[in-house]
Amino acid sequence: MTPAQPDLPAHTRERLLDTAERLFSQRGFASTSVREITDAADANLGAINYHFRSKDALYAEVFARRASLVTEPVLAAARDTARTARTNPAGAFRALGRAFLALHEDRDASLRLLGLFAREVFEPRLPRRDFLRRFLEPTIDAIASVVRHARPDLAEATARACAHAFFAQLVHVARGAGVVDATLDERLDDAVRFTVAAVMHMNAAPPGRPRRKTPRKPS
């Protein structure tokens, strides 16, 4: 009989992170207790203090562990497609979309990640600036860089608005996987077509907002 492998500290730490990610995603930070995490992770009650010092630090580490998995594929795709974005914008945006959605092909992992982020948006525990800097800003910056290569004449604010719009579509595509009667690729193609049409036909210098007319006072 093969002897049982010892439960190394690194194994316990990963179980705590996996379990905490699932429970925080399902219930949120406030509704998840330390005991629930340690019981579900088959760890002793002091394990969180030993490995992370506190529940708040565990929560922050759950997000930190996901940061590179969320952002790095999109950053790499943006670097790879920058030179061809002007001549093949559809290919560039499709590459960005596939990089973003690769993490969501595992439906269970996708739902955990989307749930975790949604909880943080509506019930924030992390410093807001840290959350934006780790997750949202790098992805938006990468998409905006492709928009700028496709349309170098666009104003910066317009390029970033296009990037935000494409990012929102990608989140919608990921969220709808398994719900709507279409594959990820089919829904991504729709988002790419919409984005390319918008970016390539956007006015380079959109006019300012019209001034409101001040109603005349009755004489």
| CATH at 84 | 1.10.357
Domain that holds residue 95: 60-201
**Predicted pLDDT of residue 144:** 97
* H helix intervals, 123-219: 128-131, 137-150, 156-176, 184-201
Note the pLDDT tens digit of each residue in 21-47.
999 999 999 999 999 999 999 999 999
What's the mean pLDDT when you consider all of the chain?
Answer: 88
Task: Provide, rounded to the nearest whole percent, the portion of the chain with pLDDT above 90.
Answer: 63
Number of domains in the chain: 1
- 82 within a domain of the structure (yes/no): yes
19 closest CA partner among 103, 27, 6: 27
Is 14 within a domain? no
pLDDT the model gives residue 103: 84
Whether 23 is in a domain gets the answer no
Domain-located, residue 3: no
pTM of the model: 0.80
What pLDDT is attached to residue 121? 87
Q: Which tens digit of pLDDT belongs to each residue from 98-157? A: 999 988 888 888 888 889 988 998 999 999 888 888 888 999 999 999 999 999 999 999
Residue 206 lies in a domain: no
Residue 25, in any domain of the structure: no
Is residue 166 within 8 A of residue 96, CB to CB? The reply is yes
Q: Is residue 128 part of a domain?
A: yes
Rounded to 5°, the CA angle 117-121-125 comes to 90
Cβ–Cβ under 8 Å, residues 38 and 49: no
Residue 162's pLDDT band, with cuts at 50, 70 and 90, is very high
Task: Report helix, strand or coil for 30.
Answer: coil
> 183 in a domain, yes or no?
yes
Which burial class, exposed, middle or buried, applies to 21 when counting CB atoms under 10 A from its CB (0-12, 13-18, 19+)?
A: buried
62 neighbors 21 (Cβ within 8 angstroms): yes
